[in-house]
Chain A
Amino acid sequence: DIQMTQSPSSLSASVGDRVTITCRASQSIATYLNWYQQKPGKAPKLLISAASSLQSGVPSRFSGSGSGTDFTLTISSLQPEDFATYYCQQSYSSLMFTFGQGTKLEI
């Protein structure tokens, strides 16, 4: 199985800050890496697919980069609505997805 390791597990930041979350795969996954945002009591929401492709309607302050085994999610200027938990997920193995353990972004 492909293991996904996310860091940090939690992060304290302020409105307007730039934050970066990293995700590392246990083997190369090319750019089959997706990022989700989850707020309490809600289903996860897809933010970025294929490592860097922003989904329709997602603010441009979100960006993703990376390939192979190392990936990052960056929020350029935090807004109040961005405080949530973020997960990376690999789709390289189409019949065996895995998620990172999540990063809780707190004020």
Chain B
Amino acid sequence: QVQLVQSGAEVKKPGASVKVSCKASGYTFTSYYIHWVRQAPGQGLEWMGVIYPSVGTTSYALKFQGRVTMTRDTSTSTVYMELSSLRSKDTAVYYCARAGYRSPLDYWGQGTPVTVSS
């Protein structure tokens, strides 16, 4: 069965970086996009960006360009999302999710809480 398993909760200080992993299993890793979505406490879903593991192509939301980097390791079927220059407003649950081309986010990771606090 398809599974996306994310790394555990993180606590970071302002100005630091965080790197969250998302390990895929149960399907052909290189055939689907992996998107990252975050949700601040009490807020809605915010799309951050996407990576196509087959070739490593990425696209980021304008808001995060320059601060986010998405990479993949095809040998372990793992995608990484690194967010730098963290501030308190980055406190959120970060989700990875799978999608085909122009398709919905059909499988989601369990979410990784990231807390940014001094």
Q: Which residues does A use to contact B, with CB under 8 Å?
A: 1, 32, 34, 36, 38, 43-44, 46, 49-50, 85, 87, 89, 91-92, 94-102
Chain B residue at smallest Cβ distance from A91 = B102
Query: Are A99 and B46 interface neighbours, CB within 8 A?
Result: yes
User: Considering only CB atoms and an 8 Å cut-off, how many residues of chain B contact the other chain?
Assistant: 25
Cβ of B103: which chain A residues have Cβ within 8 Å of it? 49, 91
Stretch at the interface among B15-23, B84-92, B107-115: B107-115
Min CB distance B94 to A, Å, is 11
Q: Which residues does B use to contact A, with CB under 8 Å?
A: 33, 35, 37, 44-47, 50, 57, 59, 61-62, 95, 97, 99, 101-106, 108-111
Q: Which of A34, A36, A38, A46 has the most CB of B within 10 A?
A: A46
Query: Are A43 and B47 interface neighbours, CB within 8 A?
Result: no
Chain B residue at smallest Cβ distance from A53 = B104
User: For the complex, what is the distance from the CA of A89 to the CA of B110, rounded to whole Å?
Assistant: 19
Known: A43-B111, A99-B47; 12 extra A-B contacts, CB below 8 A, are A34-B105, A36-B45, A43-B108, A43-B109, A44-B37, A44-B95, A46-B106, A91-B103, A92-B102, A97-B50, A98-B47, A102-B44
